[in-house]
Amino acid sequence: MLKIATFLFAIFVLNEARYHRYFDPQNELIETKWMDRKVVGNSGRIVNGEPADIADFPYMLVLIDLVRGGFRCGASVISLHWSLSAAHCTDIGTPYHMVNFRGGSTNRSNGGFIFFVQQYWNHPLYGHPDNARRLAYDISILRTQSDSPMQGLHVAPVALPPNCNNDVCCNICGGTTIVVTGWGVTETGSTSQTLRQLTAPVMSLAECDRIWGRMGPSFFCKATINGRDTCGGDSGSPLVTGTGSGRVQHGVVSFGSTVCGDGAPSVNIRIEHSIIRDWIRQLSGV
Question: What CATH number has the domain spanning 58-157+275-284?
Answer: 2.40.10.10
d(CA 48, CA 1): 4
DSSP element (H, E) containing 123: none
Q: Are 283 and 140 in contact (CB under 8 A)?
A: no
* CA pair distance 265, 223, nearest whole angstrom: 5
Identify the CA nearest to 280 among candidates 113, 163, 152: 163
For 29-41, what is the mean pLDDT?
31
Is 3 within 8 Å of 187 (Cβ atoms)? yes
Class of the domain covering 40-51+160-273: mainly beta
CATH 2.40.10.10 segments of the chain: 40-51+160-273, 58-157+275-284
The mean per-residue pLDDT over the stretch 35-43 comes to 34
Q: Could you report the per-residue pLDDT of 271-284, keeping only the tens digit for each?
A: 999 999 999 999 99
The string of pLDDT tens digits covering residues 59-112 is 999 999 999 888 889 999 999 999 999 999 998 889 999 999 999 999 999 999
Residue 54: other Cβ atoms inside 10 A: 21
The per-residue pLDDT for range 146-176, each reduced to its tens digit, is 999 999 999 999 999 998 866 556 677 777 8
Q: How confident is the model at residue 30 (pLDDT cuts 50, 70, 90)?
A: very low
Query: 70's torsion region: left (phi>0), alpha (psi -120 to 50) or beta?
Result: left
Question: Hey, CA dihedral for 83, 187, 244, 264, is it positive or negative?
Answer: negative
pLDDT for residue 167: 54
- 197 close to 57: Cβ distance less than 8 angstroms: yes
Task: Please give the Cα distance from 274 to 264 (Å, whole number).
Answer: 27
Which residues are annotated as catalytic?
A: 88, 138, 235
Per-residue pLDDT for 122 more than 80? Answer: yes
* 228-266 per-residue burial string, b: 16 or more CB within 10 A, e: under 16: bbbbbbbbbbbbbbeeeeebbbbbbbbbbbbebbeebbb
pLDDT attached to residue 271: 95
Distances (CA, A) of 88 to 64, 126, 156, 222: 14, 9, 25, 19
- Name the range with the highest mean pLDDT among 17-21, 227-231, 239-243: 239-243
